[in-house]
């Protein structure tokens, strides 16, 4: 039986909304029509839409089934879900921007709202706040900035221990595309451990930092022997966001395609990636406007060449990652997300996405580990081994 009258369609949606908002099972809706007939009719009459989209998907029976939205793990899923169910149904009724998808098995109604966009925005704002407070003129605020950076490290560890491990994806990931994919769980474990150790070191640094009563008089432009406020804000914001993309990207590439929160991770990952790319362009423009400080005069010739090469390589990495990711996605036929907006692919679908994917997922990450490691180890060597007390103070106080 099909739905032939507008009144019938509105009655069906009204009954569905009543059942959902009261917590009843969607599979028990009784309006004189089968659920398959309702879904098929709605699918024919409503165009699919990205925002406020209401989806009809199979109920999961695995241990991942308890989470049907990205924020359920954070305890915010119920609130966001209830608001999006109502908004999605209203949009679907009056603007035809939503659609129901149907299956022949058991069914659960969920919504595809913008919670993941808010989460991406929260990560970006937290990174800016950390970068700002770490270089604030008041010493007490700088202590809070160091503690905020430590909290970010602990958040990565907590995310891995309490969310990633609980999904079972490390044991049953998406089928490997290359033998190198088998190393991804080990990399996530290693990064979680490094994040925890870094958090402990930052807490210790904040404790020692309490003794500092020096007010930081820092201009916006770069000086001869240290970076200015603008460069520092851009540097640390980009660094925090870029580093956060590493474990997020590894985990996202492991999520099976039928997992409910897979697309949410892609939205957050791509949004932050586009943001990093734009900030890199701003940083390059600022470097052209305000000349970078010269390297420390005490560095040996080979150290100066190595430091210069590592800096150039890092910029190259941070530009290459978003470009290869965008080209790979576009040639695969998928759009790119910037918060709640989906940007359609500008490139024709092509099997060449495999080549770009090889660079984005395999070659560039391993190069990044070596280059980023050299950058961090070099900074630590200058401070602790060479006793260059101003090494860190050039970029953070």
The residues facing 53 across adjacent strands are 112
3-state per-residue secondary structure call for 97-143: CCCCCCCCCCEEEEEECCHHHHHHHHHHHHHHHHHHHHCCCCHHHHH
What's the pLDDT tens digit per position in 48-69?
Answer: 444 444 444 333 333 333 334 4
**Residue 298 confidence (pLDDT):** 76
- Cα separation, 192 vs 195, whole angstroms: 5
**Residue 393 confidence (pLDDT):** 74
**Residue 161 confidence (pLDDT):** 96
**Residue 396 confidence (pLDDT):** 76
CATH numbers and ranges of domains, the chain? 6-113 (no CATH), 116-385 (1.20.810)
**Residue 342 confidence (pLDDT):** 86
**Residue 220 confidence (pLDDT):** 92
Instruction: Tell me if 147 sits within 8 A of 200, measured CB to CB.
Output: no
**Residue 224 confidence (pLDDT):** 87
- Cα separation, 369 vs 246, whole angstroms: 10
- Cα separation, 339 vs 55, whole angstroms: 20
Q: How many Å is the Cα radius of gyration of the chain?
A: 25
* Residues of the chain by 3-state class (helix, strand, coil), percent to 5: 65, 5, 35
**Residue 265 confidence (pLDDT):** 93
pLDDT per position in the chain (397 positions), as tens? 444 444 454 555 555 555 544 444 444 444 444 444 544 544 444 444 444 444 443 333 333 333 344 444 444 444 334 434 433 443 333 333 333 332 223 333 233 458 899 999 999 999 999 999 999 999 999 999 999 999 999 999 999 999 999 999 999 999 988 888 999 999 999 999 999 999 999 999 999 998 888 888 889 999 988 999 999 999 999 999 999 999 999 999 999 988 999 999 999 999 999 999 999 999 999 999 999 988 877 778 888 898 889 889 999 999 999 999 999 999 998 888 888 888 888 888 999 999 999 999 889 988 988 998 888 888 888 777 777 766 677 777 6
**Residue 83 confidence (pLDDT):** 38
């Amino acid at each position: 039986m099909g739905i032939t009258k507008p009144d019938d369609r509105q009655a069906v949606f009204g009954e569905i909304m009543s059942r959902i908002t009261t917590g009843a099972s969607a599979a028990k809706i009784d309006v004189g029509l089968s659920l398959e007939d309702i879904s098929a009719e709605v699918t024919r009459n409503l165009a699919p839409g990205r925002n406020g989209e209401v989806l009809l998907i199979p109920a999961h029976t695995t241990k991942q089934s308890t989470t049907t939205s990205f924020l359920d793990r954070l305890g915010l899923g119920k609130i966001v879900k209830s608001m999006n169910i109502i908004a999605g149904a209203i949009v679907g009724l009056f603007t035809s921007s939503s659609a129901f998808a149907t299956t022949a098995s058991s069914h659960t109604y969920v919504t595809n709202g913008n919670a993941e966009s808010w989460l991406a925005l929260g990560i970006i704002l937290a990174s800016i706040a950390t970068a700002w407070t770490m270089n604030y003129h008041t010493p007490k605020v700088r202590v809070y900035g160091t503690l905020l950076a430590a909290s970010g490290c602990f958040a990565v560890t907590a995310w891995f221990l309490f969310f990633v491990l609980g999904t079972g994806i490390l044991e049953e990931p998406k089928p490997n595309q290359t033998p190198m994919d088998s190393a991804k769980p080990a990399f996530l474990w290693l990064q979680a451990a490094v994040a925890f150790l870094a958090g402990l070191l930052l807490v210790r640094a904040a404790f020692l930092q309490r003794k500092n009563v020096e007010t930081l008089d820092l201009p916006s432009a770069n000086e001869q022997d240290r970076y200015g406020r603008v460069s520092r804000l851009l540097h640390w914001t980009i660094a925090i966001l870029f580093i956060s993309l590493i474990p997020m990207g590894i985990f996202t590439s492991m999520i099976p395609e039928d997992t409910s929160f897979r697309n949410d991770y892609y939205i957050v990952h791509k949004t932050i990636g586009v943001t990093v790319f734009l900030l890199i362009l701003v940083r390059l423009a600022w470097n052209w406007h305000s000349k970078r400080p010269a390297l420390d005069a005490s560095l040996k010739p080979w150290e100066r060449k190595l430091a210069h090469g590592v800096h150039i390589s890092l910029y190259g990495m941070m530009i290459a990652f978003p470009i290869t990711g965008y080209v790979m996605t576009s040639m695969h036929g998928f759009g790119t997300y910037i918060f709640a907006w989906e940007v359609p692919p500008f490139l024709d679908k092509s099997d060449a996405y495999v080549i770009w994917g090889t660079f984005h997922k395999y070659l560039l990450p391993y190069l990044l580990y070596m280059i980023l490691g050299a950058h961090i180890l070099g900074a630590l060597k200058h401070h602790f081994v060479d006793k260059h007390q101003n090494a860190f103070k050039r970029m953070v106080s």
